[in-house]
Structure 1
Amino acid sequence: MTDIRISVAAILIGSAALPAMAEEVNVYSNRQPELIDPIFETFTEETGIEVNSVYIDTGIEERLRAEGARSPADLAFTVDIGRLDALKQAGVLQPVESDVLDEAIPAAYRDPDRDWFALTTRARAVYASRERVADGEITTYEALADPEWEGRICTRSGLHPYNIALTAGMIEQHGPEFTEDWLRGLKANLARRPQGNDRAQVKAISEGECDISLGNTYYMALMQSDPEQQAWADAVRLVFPTFEEGGTHVNISGVAMTEAAPNRENALRLMEYLATAHGQELYAEINNEYPVNESVSQSETVKSWGSFDADDANLQDLADLRAEAVRLMEIVDFDG
């Protein structure tokens, strides 16, 4: 018998959004399917609510804005405070009131206007060569601009959202003038022009091209689980620098409900499921990230990397500083 359910993928092919079935929820996500589909499958098994997930690498906010009230999407999943804020600024979200979300997610990881909610955090750490960098040799982000690191640092593009968020954190700590000088010092210490992704920098360390790099924590687990990249992971250890007067910079993955949300009740059930203990354990472990729900323990893999104290900067404040961070990156021609 022909399956009469209409998938989100099929809807996207057409020019108009069709009414959604009662027991489903439609997701737009720029998280890789292998990182979230297993969680959605478990949610479906436990609730009977089908999750239709469409992977959209970039431009979720543009798609939602173009679709308007006819959008089939109920929820948007993304990473980085900047991307969550872009959804908010595009006016494609609706605020969500939920005692469950309030109890499970600390206020620091919720939008003040309730437009987005963090599900996990990740630290912007330093990957340090086991052979060429001693324990305690790098302790702060500010020290990355010190002359002793000349020719020893690798990083991806300064304009990538992960590095823009870190730069926004530096502006929050010290202001734009200090941050511009810091970026000039960091650029002077690069072993090569910014290129590749976070794992490419660790590969360069393993090959002796540089000694330290910036990278998100979860990449360590990805390399450790890949036979072709295991040697890269073995060549480094994770270091958790802090700001001189703060903690370790963290960013988030999160979820937001779209303004259209044709399946609002089911969408809210999925949001709440991912914020409470069972959903948090699944989401954080599969993604090798840190749960935001403080009652949930970290996975054994994540625990093995060591502990840190997260910086307490307001994430919305960092989002508001992104434009200034981009401006400073361009002033110093960081990628040039």
Structure 2
Amino acid sequence: MRKIISAVAVATLITGCGNQTGEPEQKAAEAKPAEPVTLTVYSARKEHLIKPLFDMYTEKTGTQIQYITDKASPLLSRLKSEGENTPADMLITVDAGNLWKAAQDGVLRSVDSDALEQNVPANLQDENNQWFGLSIRARTIVYAKDRVKEGDLSTYEGLADANWKGRLCLRTSKKVYNQSLVASMISNLGEENTEKVVAGWVDNLATDVFSNDTKAMNAVQAGQCDATIVNTYYFGRLQNKTPDANLAIFWPNQEDRGVHINISGAGVTKHAKNPEEATALLAWLSSEEAQQQFAQLNHEYPVNAKVSATEEVKSWGDFKRDALNVSEAGRLQPDAVKLMDRVKYR
């Protein structure tokens, strides 16, 4: 889907100055309006999550932004097939694994920006500056308040214990968010220990896996199971839609590595026609002004430490975050997929 955001060019009137004899040194001329730059963005974030930001930037700078939205995989394939003929100046996508793959596939370029370095923590950016996180989501445990006590919960690994037999719901392993979670566990726990944990999850399933996080939470609410693992923004959406839902968030692994976090993020494409302008947009997206919008639009946490989460998100409580560089989610994703296949996590 293609949208074009309009901008108004500002004309500047330039007049010549006369000399002492009254003869004009140059003819007075009205300068032509400067042509506004048009950036093209490929975005795996949905339109309602990016358009307000693009509107703000266009109003602020006059830069026009043309964007195409699709899922991450088709956009990456498109960039690869277009090569140097691509119109795209920037790629925005979700999950660090997708960003890592884009860098590995050679469709992004390194950028030099002091603002990005200051605004985005080191563990939420590519070591070669090819992509930067723009918003944070935690993948955590949601449970039924009437059937589970907080003391019954501890860690992701704890959900593999025998006392959770027939009480766990999970989203499919085919979704990149679960692949990144398992990849982070491989990095933290080692492959052998992670395989035991994931096999325990599968043994404890109350029902078949679900296609998305919302369905998994609805199953908990309906009593089909007692707990699940979801991205926090899905919980926020459910709270808005069903304020009386009998569900709560639990932050696991607070005594060790912390909660698994992931990002949405962006990079400037290798064959960008407007690399400087695209870098300026990327830097602005990490700014306090833009980060406030990120926090409000999708119940996410801002990457910029100077910006607070919304009051609703803050009401879920503070928690320790896993400090692992999110690029590990990409590097170890193939191993995570193979591991989940071995234990028949569908």
Please indicate, yes or no, whether the TM-score normalized by the shorter chain is above 0.5.
yes
- Mapped pair 1:242 → 2:256: no
Q: Shift of the alpha carbon at 1:244?
A: 6.0
Contact 1:183 1:332 in 2 (8 A): yes
TM-score by length of 2: 0.87
Give the structure 1 partner of residue 62 of structure 2: 48
Task: Give the letter aligned to residue 104 of structure 1.
Answer: N
Give the structure 1 partner of residue 270 of structure 2: 259
Contact 2:121 2:303 in 1 (8 A): yes
Contact 2:41 2:65 in 1 (8 A): yes
Give the structure 1 partner of residue 112 of structure 2: 97
Task: Give the letter aligned to residue 290 of structure 1.
Answer: Y
SS of the aligned residue for 1:118 comes to strand
Task: Give the letter aligned to residue 300 of structure 2.
Answer: E
Task: Give the letter aligned to residue 99 of structure 1.
Answer: D
- Mapped pair 1:147 → 2:158: no
Worse overlay, 257-266 or 201-210: 257-266
Q: Shift of the alpha carbon at 1:333?
A: 1.0
- Measured on the aligned residues, the alpha-carbon RMSD in Å equals 1.7
Q: Shift of the alpha carbon at 1:47?
A: 1.3
For 1:78-117, what aligned pairs fall within 5 Å after superposition?
Answer: 78-117=93-132
Q: Deviations over 1:22-74 (max 9, x none)?
A: 42211101111111111111111111112111111132211001111111111
Q: Distance in 1 between matches of 2:65 and 2:90?
A: 10
Q: Distance in 2 between matches of 1:244 and 1:151?
A: 26
Contact 1:142 1:244 in 2 (8 A): no
Contact 1:81 1:316 in 2 (8 A): yes
Task: Give the letter aligned to residue 138 of structure 1.
Answer: L
Q: Distance in 1 between matches of 2:304 and 2:328?
A: 22
- Mapped pair 1:300 → 2:314: no
Q: Distance in 1 between matches of 2:115 and 2:246?
A: 43
Q: Distance in 1 between matches of 2:49 and 2:205?
A: 32
Q: Distance in 2 between matches of 1:267 and 1:137?
A: 48
Q: Distance in 1 between matches of 2:329 and 2:223?
A: 34
Q: Runs of 4 or more off by more than 3 Å in structure 1?
A: 7-10
SS of the aligned residue for 2:296 comes to helix
Give the structure 2 partner of residue 168 of structure 1: 183
Q: Shift of the alpha carbon at 1:102?
A: 0.8
Q: Shift of the alpha carbon at 1:9?
A: 6.6
Contact 2:57 2:63 in 1 (8 A): yes
Q: Distance in 2 between matches of 1:315 and 1:25?
A: 27
SS of the aligned residue for 2:259 comes to coil
Q: Shift of the alpha carbon at 1:76?
A: 0.6
- Mapped pair 1:26 → 2:40: yes
Task: Give the letter aligned to residue 38 of structure 1.
Answer: P
Q: Deviations over 1:150-196 (max 9, x none)?
A: 11111111231111111111111111111111111110111111122
SS of the aligned residue for 1:27 comes to strand
SS of the aligned residue for 2:166 comes to coil
Q: Distance in 1 between matches of 2:178 and 2:253?
A: 15
For 1:262-277, what aligned pairs fall within 5 Å after superposition?
Answer: 262-277=273-288
TM-score by length of 1: 0.90
Q: Shift of the alpha carbon at 1:8?
A: 5.6
Q: Distance in 1 between matches of 2:181 and 2:161?
A: 17
- Mapped pair 1:221 → 2:232: no
Contact 1:81 1:251 in 2 (8 A): yes
Task: Give the letter aligned to residue 139 of structure 2.
Answer: R
Q: Shift of the alpha carbon at 1:305?
A: 1.1
Q: Distance in 1 between matches of 2:309 and 2:168?
A: 30
1:320 pairs with one of 316, 324, 331: 331
What is the aligned length? 315
Determine what percentage of the aligned residue pairs are the same residue.
38
Give the structure 1 partner of residue 27 of structure 2: none
Q: Distance in 2 between matches of 1:134 and 1:45?
A: 50
Task: Give the letter aligned to residue 264 of structure 1.
Answer: P
- Mapped pair 1:61 → 2:72: no
Contact 1:167 1:325 in 2 (8 A): yes
Q: Shift of the alpha carbon at 1:258?
A: 0.5
Q: Shift of the alpha carbon at 1:148?
A: 0.6
Q: Deviations over 1:10-30 (max 9, x none)?
A: 9xxxxxxxxxx7422111011
In structure 1, stretches of 5+ residues that fail to align are 1-6, 11-20
Contact 1:93 1:259 in 2 (8 A): yes
2:205 pairs with one of 184, 190, 199: 190
